[in-house]
Amino acid sequence: PPSPAATLEAKPPSLTVLTLPTDAHLTLKGPSEAAGYAPLDLPHLWNGRYSVVIEGGGCSRTQGVLFIPSRGGMPYALSEPPGLSTGLVIRSLSFPGVPAISSGHVPRGIVLSAAATGAAFAGIRAHHFYRRAVNDDDSEAQDRVDVYRGSRDRWAGYLGAVWGLSALDYWIHPRMAVIESQPHKVTLSAPSVTRGSVVWRSILVPGAGQEFANRRGRGLFWISSVLATGAAAVISDQAHRLAVHRLERAQADLAADTTGSQSLIKEVDRRANRVQTTKDARAGFLGATIGLYALNVIDAAVVSLGRGGGKAPAEVSAVTRISPASSEVALRLRF
């Protein structure tokens, strides 16, 4: 029989995943799943494409994609690295909200997509009414042409603003980077949360700083409220312009009347009140949009940075791998 030394094989080394900041919590999902605080040791059989989430330890919750080659290869990132690039800019110009959804910021992406879809629908509707008014020959046709054409243009501007916010929001998302890669060790980095990084993001995009500071509910509130009041301002502006045209038409009818009709006088008064009401509504929604944006920046300057997620006195990490060929479970206790 062969000697014992000939039958023994050296145990294949595992892959240790480190983070910067240190002691962040890691979640890896792919052919297998693992979760725990760094450093996280993965069995040697692990390879393939894995979705990675880094959170805690004073960093912004960051998602990325890591490829672990077969034994002996060096892991590398498949997701976009930090910083601007041509590919990043091109992907950011997708329909509003789609880049955020694809990068794991689903609620934020849904809000942006809903705002853009609503603006596109309203703009198409206004253009439809504008084309119909062009062919009308009644006395108020020209008024409707001016109102619906202006409404179409303003909805196009609102859609452009949402598209720009979506692109900026995608540019400033936290991104994972591989700062060191060896066959048996890989170090992943996530951006640290600082007051300055939170404030300047909220200046660029409402709620983006709160999202970066791991306060996703607050970030979602700010971007939703700013977009909603902005849309309401566009709607009230259309109503005001239509009311102004109708008032001018009523005043012209009253000036042409020689009988002193009380009904025409009451109609002018009613339409004048309507003009004032829509003007106040427009000013209110516009002021609310500006005010909410300013409050969003103030909130970013005072929001708790939430540096939780550090090492506890005792940590347990679990790693599982199940395949047709084998199955394994590893538990690691640190104390």
Q: Which of 166, 152, 187, 144 is nearest to 95 (CA)?
A: 166
Compare 280 and 310 and report the one with higher pLDDT.
Answer: 280
250 pLDDT tier (thresholds 50, 70, 90): confident
Percent of the chain with pLDDT strictly greater than 90: 55
The confidence score (pLDDT) of residue 332 equals 64
Q: What is the mean pLDDT of residues 117-125?
A: 95
The confidence score (pLDDT) of residue 17 equals 92
Q: What is the mean pLDDT of residues 203-217?
A: 94
Alpha-carbon torsion (165, 167, 168, 173), positive or negative: positive
The confidence score (pLDDT) of residue 310 equals 41
Q: Which of 43, 24, 15, 17 is nearest to 315 (CA)?
A: 24
Retrieve residue 308's tokens: 């939780």
pTM (two decimals): 0.81
In the predicted structure, residue 318 carries a pLDDT above the cut 70:
no
CA distances (Å), origin 299, targets 205, 215, 216, 226, 304 = 13, 11, 13, 14, 9
Compare 273 and 57 and report the one with higher pLDDT.
Answer: 273
pLDDT digits 0-9 by tens, 135-193: 877 767 777 888 889 899 999 999 999 999 999 999 999 999 999 999 889 999 999 99
The confidence score (pLDDT) of residue 316 equals 57
In Å, the largest CA–CA distance within the chain is 125
Q: What is the mean pLDDT of residues 204-232?
A: 95
The confidence score (pLDDT) of residue 7 equals 46
Per the CB < 8 A criterion, the answer to whether 326 and 315 are in contact is no
CB atoms within 10 A of CB 287: 12
Q: Which burial class, exposed, middle or buried, applies to 240 when counting CB atoms under 10 A from its CB (0-12, 13-18, 19+)?
A: buried
d(CA 176, CA 48): 18
d(CA 162, CA 305): 27
Compare 254 and 228 and report the one with higher pLDDT.
Answer: 228
d(CA 55, CA 103): 15
8 pLDDT tier (thresholds 50, 70, 90): very low
